[in-house]
Structure formats: structure tokens, C-alpha cells
A and B are shown apart, each in its own frame.
With several copies, the nearest count.
Chain A
Amino acid sequence: MTPATAAQAKTKDPSAPSPLPPDRLRALLRQMLLVRRFEEKAAEAYALGKIGGFCHLYIGQEAVAVGSIAALRDDDYLICSYREHGQALVRGIPPAEVMAELFGKATGCSHGKGGSMHLFDAKRHFMGGHGIVGGHIPLAAGIGFGIKYKGGDQVCLCYFGEAAVNIGAFHEALNMAAVWKLPVVFLCENNRYGMGTAFERVAALTDVAEHAKSYDMESAEVDGMDVFAVYDAAARAVARAREGHPTLLEVRTYRFMGHSMSDPLHGVYRTKEEVEEQKKRDPIVGLTHHLRDEGLMDQAAIDALDAEVHAEVDAAVKFADESPDPEPAALMRDVLAD
């Protein structure tokens, strides 16, 4: 682990973000646990048929959402792919509303009409989960355009998988963001696979950050299992974005589950051993060790936090379960705005 504090002390880099105080660190752990427990429950609910459709879990990648969103202000914007439960929770959408959305209930954050891939929360500037690979990356540039147009100083943080780098929309969006100096951070969660395809089988160069050079853009490669490293890189990128300089972050991470609930955890495309090996880098284990080592939390406190999170997620499931389906009239509502 390279906690922001330590990294800063070592390098004395004046552009380094200010160190996170202990209570922020505990909050980060809470968020990571929340995502983990939420996703575990979602997997259970999916198996029970309470969640339908495609459901892409975030287990293993928690440090990415947690570390990067820690660098945002409340009025900043986020936009994501379909693998966005983590970002939604960390951004502060109540777990009950997220779970209710997965259950398709009227109380869900998209009123049951979006589902797992389309979580939205306008008031939290959570601009959605989007289902077409790469399709939301130009939207991020557009949100950045909107911010700049109005003279705001917010930024837009955009998450996507490494496989999206192979699709045209990524390139068109990066170019425009660079030409127009938009306040956008493009965060590629490189978890090595797009569904069952290893990145090196479909990308000429697996070094995603290299693409930034073609757009005269700053970039960084980041260890996505280290929440401090993610925070540090994101904070720098966010600061740059506020000055009108977009950044491409390549965050190296790993998904511990199958691509979606319909897909196998391992198989022809990756071995069980590889998954087990990667699990040793579990970002939550890393963070708890750090907190213990630094004397910031003892095991009892961690267990208590985990129990608290468990209870919150159980309550979310209960809420979702007991919430009503949308009324029939919802079918034809919101096709058009007034």
C-alpha cells in the first residue's frame, strides 16, 4: 500500500493531494465493504430470481471507485458503464435505492425502469450506467462541455473497461475533450478481460495509457488494488481537469467474479489459479492491513464496521423486496418530457 500520506512524505511532490485524515480512511474502508457486501447480496438475489437481466458485479474492483470518488466534490459528475453498482453506492445513492433498482422496483433510483445497467441519480450528478460499450464516453465529454459552457469548475469522471478502448467512440471523445480542453477524467478500469477475451488478444498494445499521447493528453498507470494509489492519481487528474486539462487514467484491476451473473468465473479464458492468485491482491484485505498496521483500526473495529455494513445491505434487500413494482401507468410514462 502506498497511502497518500506516505507517498507524499517520500516524494515531497508539491502537486500531491493533501493526505487523507484517519476518519476519511475509515470511511474508505466502509465504502469498500459496502460495495463488497452489496454485491455478494446481489449475487444471492440474482440466484433467487429477484434480479433479472444482466448483472455485472464489481467485486475485486472496489478500490477503483472508492479511491477515485474520494477525489471528487459533491457537485462533480460521474458517468459509468453497466458495471456501475460500486460507483453508485460510493457516490452515496442509498443502497436501498440501488438494490430496489436491481429488483426493478418503483423505489429504485431509476424507478425500476433502468435496472442494474442503468442506475441514475440526477441530484447526485450520477449520470448513469450505460449499456453500449464505449457509448457513454462521448457523453462524458458532453458533460464536461456543459460544465465549461456554464463557467463551472466541476469535473466529470468517466469509468469504462479496457475493452472499450478498441471502439471508436473512445477515440472520438478523447480527441474532442483534448481539443476543447474539457474538465474530464477518463478512467479506464483495466481488469484484463472484456467478457471472455483477454485484452492482449484483441488490442495491439495493452498499454492503454499510451493512447493519451495521440491526444496530447496527460495519463497515468495506476495500481487499482491500492486505494491510496487510485486516490492519489485521481486527485491529481481531477485537479488538472479543473484547470481544463483532461487526463486518461489506466487503473489496473481485476474482477473476481464472472463477467456477469450469467457467465462463468473462470474457464477457457482464464484459469482458476489466476483468479486465486489475483485474490491475494484483494483491495479490502490490503486496506484493512494498512489500517491495522498504522494502528488506525483494530480487528474488532473492522468487524464492527463490517457488521454495520452487513446490516445496511440486509436492510436494502428487505426494502427492495418489500417495495412495490411500478404501477402499470409507469409503462407509458417518461417516454417524452412535457
Chain B
Amino acid sequence: MPTLTYRDALNQALREEMQRDPNVFLMGEEVGLYQGAYKVSRGLLEEFGPQRVVDTPIAELGFAGVGVGAAMTGLRPVVEFMTWNFAVLALDQIVNSAAKMLYMSGGQFPMPLVFRGPNGAALQLGAQHSQAWESWLAHIPGLKVVAPATPADAKGLLKAAIRDNNPVIVLEGEMLYNTKGEVPDGELVIPIGQADIKRPGTDVTLICHSKTVTVALKAADLLQESGVSAEVVDLRSLRPLDEAAIVASVTKTNRCVVVEEGWHHCGVGAQVVDIIQRDAFDHLDAPVLRVTQVDAPMPYNKVLERAAKSSPEKVVAAARRVLYLD
């Protein structure tokens, strides 16, 4: 199987879907001539031309709305946000137009639309450029939300998102774009809503998604050193959540730590905890603990930023607590 970067896997998914369906087009800031701020769209302008690879003004609210309007005419827009930090300006269109259109029109206007781009912090981008929005987006019925962690998942989930007849949020990661992995050529469509066990284990479940999959896998390595077998469950999809997979793993391990990139209060992890305590109550040998960004805006300083983020060490500490090892 070929090895690709996450960036190129996304690029491949976009290219294949644009080849497959002439109604698919890409729009966003710098996606065309500049080849994408993070080069995810490299070569697409050359292959598909300016009508299908559309450079927009800096007008997130406006071009998200253009995407919605285009979807109403039956096109399948892929709207790139240079980063999700800027998509806060477009939330009205995402929530009030895209997510509600089918419902409030009594089923007349499906929204085959993708909103994608890097989410969350990278390195030292400061408070306004380090925002992880997943719990906000996952809150909204009418949307689907995916957050792939590996190149293969990125390709398979983006392809599924483009083919879906609903507005799908694809949360990528600036820090993931350069990561590599094996990616099958051609048809790889991963159904939205299925978690993936990235590492099986028996003693404790580590639930994660997107960038925190790496964090959890490293934590699992560290735990293994002290003889603890951790199962790493990558949610992949945050709406819908694969409740069955979550419950199955915790029913087996009886202990769980949920890791996420964003803030604690009303985060995705809170919802995961809710499901676990509700559906695996009798199987829990300890409270579920969570590892999240500290409850503060992201600081610029490198040392503080590192301290602010979820880390393997923090996950290990939490895992040891749910195992009553500390």
C-alpha cells in the first residue's frame, strides 16, 4: 500500500471525488492559485480549472453561505476554511442555514455540503488561532462531524463526507498534515459514525480523536512499560458518535480516560462520559477521567503552550488514577 501524508491523502480524496462527480467543487481562501494555505489543494486548480477550484475573498460568513446556496441548486460544494479559527464567523450559515435547511423546509432541501479545514492548535499560534471547535459543532443536529487522525482515515472520511447528502464537518489538523501512513489507492470510503480501535488492550480504554490519537498511542506505549494494557479507541466521528464501540470497550476494560484537544467544560469528552456512565454504569470500576486543554485561552509562549495541551504524560497520570495505581 502506498504511504502518503495526511495532506496528500486529503488531496487524493478531493481529486478522486472531483473526477467522479462534476458537481463537486472546492472553494475557499487561497485554495486555487496559491495551492492552498496548507497545500491540501495542490494541483487541483490546474486539473479542474477556476470554476471548480474557487478562490474566495476573506469573507467566511459570505462564502459559507455561497456554499449553502450552491448546495440548494444541487451542487456538492466543499468549502475550505483556511483554519476553523476563522469559521467562527461562518457559524450562522453552518448552524442556521446548512444544519436546519432540510428540516425547516420539510425535507425539500438536502445539503450535500462539506465544510473542512484544520481545527485546533498548531504551534505557538496564540489565543485566537488555536481554537478547537469540535464540541460546538458536535452539539448541532443536522450536521455530521468527523475528525480523522490518520492519512487513511482522512481520505476515507473526506470521500464519505463529499458523497454524503448532509452537511459534514471535516476537522483536520495543521499538525497532522505532514504525518504519514499507508493509504489504499482509489476507492476508500469510511462510513461516518464508526469508531476505530487503533490499539487493542484490556486494562483501560483511552478514548481520543484527531490529534489526541497520537497522544493516546504514546500514552499506551508508556503504560505498557509498566505493564498496563491500554485500548485506544479513536472516535473518528463525533456526530454521530459510535456509542456501541465506546460502551463495548469500556465494558471490557472497566476503566476509561477520555482525551481531547479542546477545553474541558462541555467538551466532547463530557458527552462520552455521559454515554459511558449511562450505558456501562455497572461495568465501571472507577470514575472516567478526562484529559483536555487547561481551562484558559492558548498562550503564545512555547513552554506554557506545552503545559496547556493534552499530553501523553497527562493521559498516563489519569490512567494510573483510574487504575488506582497512584
Question: Across the interface, do B296 and A196 meet the contact criterion of CB distance under 8 Å?
Answer: no
Which residues from chain A contact B307 at a C-beta distance below 8 Å?
Answer: 328, 331
Min CB distance, A98 to chain B, in Å?
Answer: 13
Give Cα A111 to B107, complex, Å: 8
Give Cα A200 to B261, complex, Å: 39
1/0 contact string of B67-78 vs chain A (CB within 8 Å): 111111111010
- One of A52, A110, A131 near B302 (C-beta < 8 A): A52
Contact of B97 with A by CB under 8 A:
yes
Give Cα A194 to B73, complex, Å: 30
Min CB distance, A211 to chain B, in Å?
Answer: 14
Question: Across the interface, do B128 and A113 meet the contact criterion of CB distance under 8 Å?
Answer: no
Question: Which range holds the interface residue count of chain B?
Answer: 35 or more
- One of A142, A203, A330, A337 near B69 (C-beta < 8 A): A142
Min CB distance, A271 to chain B, in Å?
Answer: 13
Which residues from chain A contact B62 at a C-beta distance below 8 Å?
Answer: 138, 141, 168-169, 172-173, 175-176
Give Cα A150 to B141, complex, Å: 30
The stretch from B88-96, B204-212, B246-254, B315-323 touching chain A is: B88-96
Question: Across the interface, do A337 and B105 meet the contact criterion of CB distance under 8 Å?
Answer: no
Question: Across the interface, do A120 and B105 meet the contact criterion of CB distance under 8 Å?
Answer: yes
Contact of B260 with A by CB under 8 A:
no
Question: Across the interface, do A112 and B30 meet the contact criterion of CB distance under 8 Å?
Answer: no
Contact of B181 with A by CB under 8 A:
no
Contact of B85 with A by CB under 8 A:
yes
A130-B97, A142-B68, A176-B63 known; A118-B128 Cβ under 8 A: yes
Which residues from chain A contact B97 at a C-beta distance below 8 Å?
Answer: 130, 135-136, 139
Which residues from chain A contact B295 at a C-beta distance below 8 Å?
Answer: 332, 335
Question: Across the interface, do A114 and B106 meet the contact criterion of CB distance under 8 Å?
Answer: yes
Within 8 A of A (CB), among B287-302: 294-297, 299-302
A sample of 28 cross-chain residue pairs with beta-carbon separation below 8 angstroms, ordered by A number, consists of A54-B125, A111-B107, A113-B299, A114-B106, A127-B69, A130-B128, A140-B69, A142-B73, A145-B69, A145-B70, A146-B72, A146-B73, A166-B58, A167-B57, A167-B58, A167-B60, A173-B62, A176-B63, A176-B66, A197-B29, A268-B34, A269-B34, A325-B303, A331-B294, A331-B296, A331-B299, A336-B144, A337-B112
List residues of A whose CB falls within 8 A of some B CB: 52-54, 77, 79, 104-105, 108-118, 120-122, 127-128, 130-147, 149-150, 156, 163-164, 166-169, 172-173, 175-176, 179-180, 194-197, 201-203, 268-269, 325-326, 328, 330-338
